[in-house]
Every structure is written in C-alpha cells, then in structure tokens.
Amino acid sequence: MRLDEIDFDLPEDLIAQEPIEPRDASRMMVVRRDTGALEHRLFRELPEVLCTGDLLVVNDSRVLPARLHGRKDGTGGAVEVLLLRELEADRWEVLLRPGRRLRRGSRILLEQLEAVCLDRFGEGHWSLGFEPAGALRQALPTLGEMPLPPYIHHRLRDPERYQTIYARAEGSAAAPTAGLHFTPAVLDQLDRRGVTRAAVTLHVGVDTFRPVSETVVEDHPMHSEAWELPPETAAAVQAARARGGRVVAAGTTAVRVLDSSRRASDSGRWTRS
C-alpha cells in the first residue's frame, strides 16, 4: 500500500484545540455490521449500543508528564527533554531537542535537578542520568508537562483532562485517546445494563507521534510497546465468549493487547510487541 493512497487533507481549523465538556458529549459514529448502516450519535449513548453480557476492555495506562524544559550547562541553550522509558533508578531513555550538539557528559539544567548525557542511541535519542538521586520522580508532577500531539497547540489548563478516568499504571507517552470520553455516568450505565468491564495495560510509546515517512506503508519501521494482560482479564474474555457476549475493545491500544496476547506464550507478564 502506498502512503499517498490513504492521504487526505485535514484543515487545521477542524482540529479541536480544547477538549469538549463534558467528556461524553463527544460525537460517536456507530456502524451496523449486518447492514452497513451509519448512525451519528453521542458517546454518552454508548450503553444503548452495547448489550447485556458484552465485555468492555479498557487500557488503564496513565500518561507521564514527560516533557521537561531545561538549559545546556555552559551555553544556556534551550533543551527539551522527552522521557520515554525508565531504564533503572534515575536513568531514563529520552529524546532531546535540539540534540545535534550534545555530547556524552553534556549536562542539562532543569530547575532543581540536573541531567547528564550518558549513552547516545541515535539522533537526539539518549540515556540520561538525573541528579540528585530520586529528585526526578519528586519533581515530575510540577516540573513535567503533558506530551500533547504536535497538532495540539494550546496548553492544557487541567493536565488530568489528558488522562482517562480509570488511568492507573503510569508509563504512557500519550493518552489512549478512545478512553478519554468515558465518564463515571457512562460507566455506571454500562454496569446497570449488565456490560462487564476488564482492564489491560499498554504504555503508548512516543513513536505514536512520528509520521510515516516511507513511500510504501509496509516499509515503515514499527516500534514496540510494553503491555500486560492480567490473568483475570484473560478469564473475563473467555467467559464473555462462552456466554455469547461480544468483547468490545475501547480503542486501538486495547485491540493491540488482545491481538498480541494470542501470539504470546506468557500472557499476563510484561511483554513488548
């Protein structure tokens, strides 16, 4: 498949810069598989679409406030740090921008803490060591910013608005956005309708922001992401199928976990796929 076969123009003025309030007032399109009919509805009507006995699978990953702003020691040049993955205590895999002139041993000043460039993985792709010990974790809630997609230009007034209401396991570089529309009221209505719910965890990687640059889509290098399918969720999926219910994944991240788990020999453990 060529990239230009699926390209389309999306005018910037049609990209929402502020989240809708309340969350469940967002629009929802329902496609009837048996007839192909389309219905234009609101997300708060999801309980009317699902049935008793269905299982809703959500991704409970929580977004890290992973974007930090610092200055290069010595020159004062601005450096943006994007945390990707904690390698060990006080050592992180990161993206640095601009990263071209940084060298091993370069230091970045970040208000009450410092970072030193340790190992370079690629252009702007480094491991950083943070000092003093334990300072980064303590500073993140106030020092870090949500890593919003590049097409969102407005700063979030409430960082929690970029989290799902059931977010639990911190580690994503971006929100599992399909889940952002759920509200306590919608979940309560689903419970009362007899729709059961289970969680998986997939930490969305920063490559979700990277555009496809290859001419042929199949040539695009796919990144890996850490995911977990708890045993109780696997059992809930099997129970739903046994009773004839549908397994409804809330978004592509939940789909990726369910699909990958069929190929994994040790589902229930942390796996990269």
pLDDT in tens, 211-222: 788 899 899 887
Cα–chain center distance at 170 = 10
Residue 56: pLDDT above 90? yes
**What is the predicted pLDDT for the residue at 215?**
92
Q: What percent helix, strand, coil does the chain show, rounded to 5?
A: 25, 30, 40
**What is the predicted pLDDT for the residue at 272?**
46
CATH number of the 67-143 domain = 2.40.10.240
Tell me if 21-63+152-272 shares its fold with 67-143. Answer: no
| Residue percentage of the chain with pLDDT more than 90 | 64
**What is the predicted pLDDT for the residue at 266?**
47
- Please, which pLDDT band fits residue 206 given cuts at 50, 70 and 90? confident
pLDDT in tens, 228-246: 999 999 999 999 999 999 9
What are the domain boundaries of the chain? 21-63+152-272, 67-143
- Please, which pLDDT band fits residue 155 given cuts at 50, 70 and 90? confident
Check residue 26 and report its DSSP letter. Answer: S
pLDDT in tens, 193-204: 999 999 999 999
Quote the mean pLDDT of the chain: 90
Q: What's 21-63+152-272's CATH class?
A: alpha beta
DSSP result, 70-110: EEETTT--EEEEEEEEEEETTEEEEEEES-TT--TT-EEEE
| Residue, of 248 and 7, whose pLDDT is higher | 248
Partner residues linked to 164 by β-bridges: none
